Chain A
Amino acid sequence: NAGVMQNPRHLVRRRGQEARLRCSPMKGHSHVYWYRQLPEEGLKFMVYLQKENIIDESGMPKERFSAEFPKEGPSILRIQQVVRGDSAAYFCATAGGGTEAFFGQGTRLTVV
C-alpha cells in the first residue's frame, strides 16, 4: 500500500509561469488537504477537498491559486503566474475513515 505520493519533489519555475503540484492519496482515502510551509512561518492550511468537491478553501489566496480533486486521478494544486513569494514547500495530507492524516514528502517550489 503506497503512501501519499507528491510530485514533483522539486519544481523550479520562472516568474510568470504556471506551477502544477500533484498529490496522489493513499488507497481508499477520499479527503485531501494542502498546506504551505514557509521557513520560520510554520505550516499553513490552504484547502481541503473531497472527491470533486472543495470543502474548505479558507486558506487559499484569492487570486492565482486553485485546487481540484477529480473523480479519477490525483489532486492538483495550481499556481498561475508564479511570483518569488510563492517559493515554499507544499505538502498534501490525505485521510480516510481512520484516525490520522498521512503526509506526502512535499513539493519544494522555487521561483526564479
Chain B
Amino acid sequence: GEDVEQSLFLSVREGDSSVINCTYTDSSSTYLYWYKQEPGAGLQLLTYIFSNMDMKQDQRLTVLLNKKDKHLSLRIADTQTGDSAIYFCAERDNTGNQFYFGTGTSLTVIP
C-alpha cells in the first residue's frame, strides 16, 4: 500500500493556529482528506480536496496541497479546546477504490 505519514502529537494554546502536516507517496491520488476522531468515537470527515486544487478554505479550516512535494496540511484558525482530537489525513488512489490513512496526529489544545 501507499505510505501516508503524520507526526503523532501536536500541542497548541487556545486561540492560536494549529497546523497539522501530512506527506504521502502516491502521485496519482485523486482526493485527499482530513478526518477527525474524538475520544471513543469513529472518524468523521472534516474536509477534502481534489488533487488538482492547491487550497481549500472552510470557515476555520484551511487545507493546503503541494502536489509536487506530496505534502498536505490542515490549518485550524483560533483553535478551541473542542478541537482536541486525533486528526487523520488520507488519500484515495487513482482507482477510486482504496483509501490510505496516516497514523493520526493527536492535537491537544491547552487552555
Main secondary structure of the interface of B (DSSP, over half): strand
With A100-B45, A106-B42 as contacts: A45 and B102 at CB distance below 8 Å? no
How many residues belonging to A are interface residues under a CB distance threshold of 8 Å? 27
Chain B CB within 10 A, most for which of A41, A101, A102: A101
- Nearest CB on A from B90, distance (A): 8
B99 contacts A103, C-beta separation under 8 Å: no
B33 contacts A42, C-beta separation under 8 Å: no
**Binary A-proximity of B76-107 (CB < 8 A = 1, otherwise 0):** 00000000000010100000011111111000
Which residue of chain B is the closest to A6 with respect to CB atoms? B42
Q: Which residues of A contact B (CB under 8 A)?
A: 4, 6, 31, 33, 35, 40-45, 48, 55-56, 58-59, 91, 93, 95, 99-106
